[in-house]
Amino acid sequence: MTNILRIETSARKAGSFSRQLTENIIARFPGADVTTRDLASGLPVISETWVGANFTPEADRSDAQRDVLALSDELIAEVKAADVLVIGLPIYNFSAPAAFKEWVDQIARAGVTFTYTENGPVGLLEGKRAIVAVASGGVPLGSDYDHATPLVRQVLGFIGITDVEFIGATGLNMNEAGALEAANTAIAALKAA
């Protein structure tokens, strides 16, 4: 059975195109076990206390430090358990929503999801697939002003997830029906394996 981690980053609950697309993507995986992490309300921003806890060796952490990292540990466990990440990603002001960056800050941890080597950082979460449903009012994917998809590819690759596919509904403000049709055609062509 496929384990899917569905990550929703849209601030909109109703009427969200990215949420609609993630639903359609998940339908391509019948029988999958789906865990949903909805980031619409945001996550705590990392703080000096969080950073201090993170850089304290695990065996030396106080109970308070373990508590500070508990959500981060939970989010990382969700990613580790997933075979496929399905990420709903609207483009806000040319980039990913702040909620996505908050999630990245919580899961990108040295020694846990990546490690430093003589040749630079190496991701530790290899062998996973990510399908990113991008909704944009007017920013074409891959354009000079698309700062969302390169960010997503970079941060996922940093933790070891290099099999990343983007499904885009772009130009929604100009041709909603056409943008959704193009995205859903791409979704229909997805291989579930």
Answer yes or no: is 193 within a domain.
no
Domain tally, the chain: 1
Mean pLDDT for all residues in the chain: 95
Q: The domain containing residue 103 runs over which residues?
A: 3-188
Please, what's the b/e burial string for 56-81 (b: 16 or more CB within 10 A of its CB; e: otherwise)?
A: eeeeebeeebeebbeebeebbebbee
Res. 193: pLDDT tops 90? no
Write the CATH number for 74.
Answer: 3.40.50.360
Give tens-digit pLDDT for 152-190.
Answer: 999 999 999 999 999 999 988 888 999 999 998 899 998
Residue 56 has pLDDT above 80, yes or no: yes
Q: What is the pLDDT of residues 101-143, one digit of tens each?
A: 999 999 999 999 999 999 999 999 999 999 999 999 999 889 9
Is 32 or 193 the better-scoring residue by pLDDT?
Answer: 32
